[in-house]
Amino acid sequence: MSTKPQLPERPSRAAGGPTALDGLLVIDFTRVVAGPACTQTLADFGARVIKIENPDGGDDTRAYEHAEIGGESAAYLSLNRNKSGIALDLAVPEAREIALDLIRKADVVVENFSSGVMKKFGLDYEAVAPLNARLVYCSISAYGRTGPFASRPGFDPITQAESGFMSLNGFADGPAVRTGPPIVDMATGMSACNAILLALLARDRLGRGQHVEVALFDVAMGMTGFYGMAYLINGENPGRFGNSPSGSPTVGVYEASDGPLYMACANDRLYRRLAVEVLNRPDLITDPKFATRKARSENKELLRAAIAEVFASDTLENWMTKMKLANIPVGYLRTVEEGFNAPEARERARLSRIPHRTARWVPNIEPPITMSLTATVDPMAAPLLGEHTERVMRETLGYDDKRIAALAEKGAFGLGKTPRTD
């Protein structure tokens, strides 16, 4: 039976403390994963992010099936913390005027629509740059906004497959395997966030904004890392090594008598300590078949079998104790349930709960960045569809009751819909 961790209420940040992105206004046209992951980081550190959604269903992740609470999906909640949410039907001219009014005031625009959508609405960089010379405009796509592949739709697993990244994952005797979590989407969101921050730094120096682009395919190719670089040097197509990079017999999963562990014993110094201090097998050093790194690589199956036999003779906790005393990198091979209930997660305060309008509270996974002076903002759960439309119209754009009512009548906020009131 599953045991969810007890989620504490999140402690508030220091009163009056600054945030890294105080005063930054971000207009967020993104949905699904990469774009929302980018803008959530900006929001976590103090930017005011206004998320614009289609009133007919909103962000696709709202309907994802992993789990839901208070009518909101786990996927949507995990990617849209600390944002204000408004609903605009961009097919309506009056809604596009609202979007332009927001862009005029913005520091940053982020979009990840299919190619040509922002241009169709008159909201592409070339159309809006004359309205706001200091605007940083970030486009996220599968294959870039220019060139012969710009119009191709693409998603995380497609770019994992096409870039070569997927070919590195899995076991040598099995098919290529995509990562479970959408790692290319998440890395693209991080790269987009970096690109925006770089452009903001450049704006301070140059006095003007610019258009920045990040593509999933480019990120996936970059994530082949030293395997990709090795191919460019030696021309050898890298394969799959399962849990042991480069087939190293001293890196990977081993089974104790009562459970698995993951060991990363990746150099000669660590290997000697493993053989003598942990396994009590000095012959694994003196035997010519295992005496050097090259010899161990040539006889890796023999060595792996010898190590596996020793590990199988004792319990997981005894091996963990011995390996930690020898200062050898080792970890438990945990499920999500075990990881989220682990002492590391608890001691590092990675999990909490935060208020939510329909669910009372929702779980929260803390951002993985800690800053001593400019801490994250007190988290606010992802907005309901159109939750802050009226507040944004009034407070950000200065629209009065009459104008908001007229826009609602025109269908700017969705056919037959009026803005939510907080």
Catalogue the active-site residues.
185
Q: Which residues pair with 363 in a beta bridge?
A: 353
CB environment 100-131: b (16+ within 10 A), e (fewer)? bbbbeebbbbbbbbebeebeebebbbeebbee
* Nearest partner of 411 among 29, 92, 51, 86, judged by Cα: 92
Q: What are the angstrom distances between the C-alpha of 343 and each of 10, 194, 406?
A: 18, 31, 55
Residues in the chain: 422
Residue 343: count of CB within 10 angstroms of its CB: 7
* Nearest partner of 415 among 55, 10, 7, 145, judged by Cα: 55
Q: Are strands 251-256 and 211-215 parallel, antiparallel or unpaired?
A: unpaired
Q: Give the phi and the psi of residue 346 in degrees, each rounded to 5.
A: -70, -50
Kindly give, in sequence order, each residue whose CB lies less than 8 Å from that of residue 289, ignoring residues fewer than 6 positions away: 295, 296, 298, 299, 302, 303
For residue 93, what is the enclosing H or E element?
helix 93-105
* Nearest partner of 389 among 128, 156, 99, judged by Cα: 99
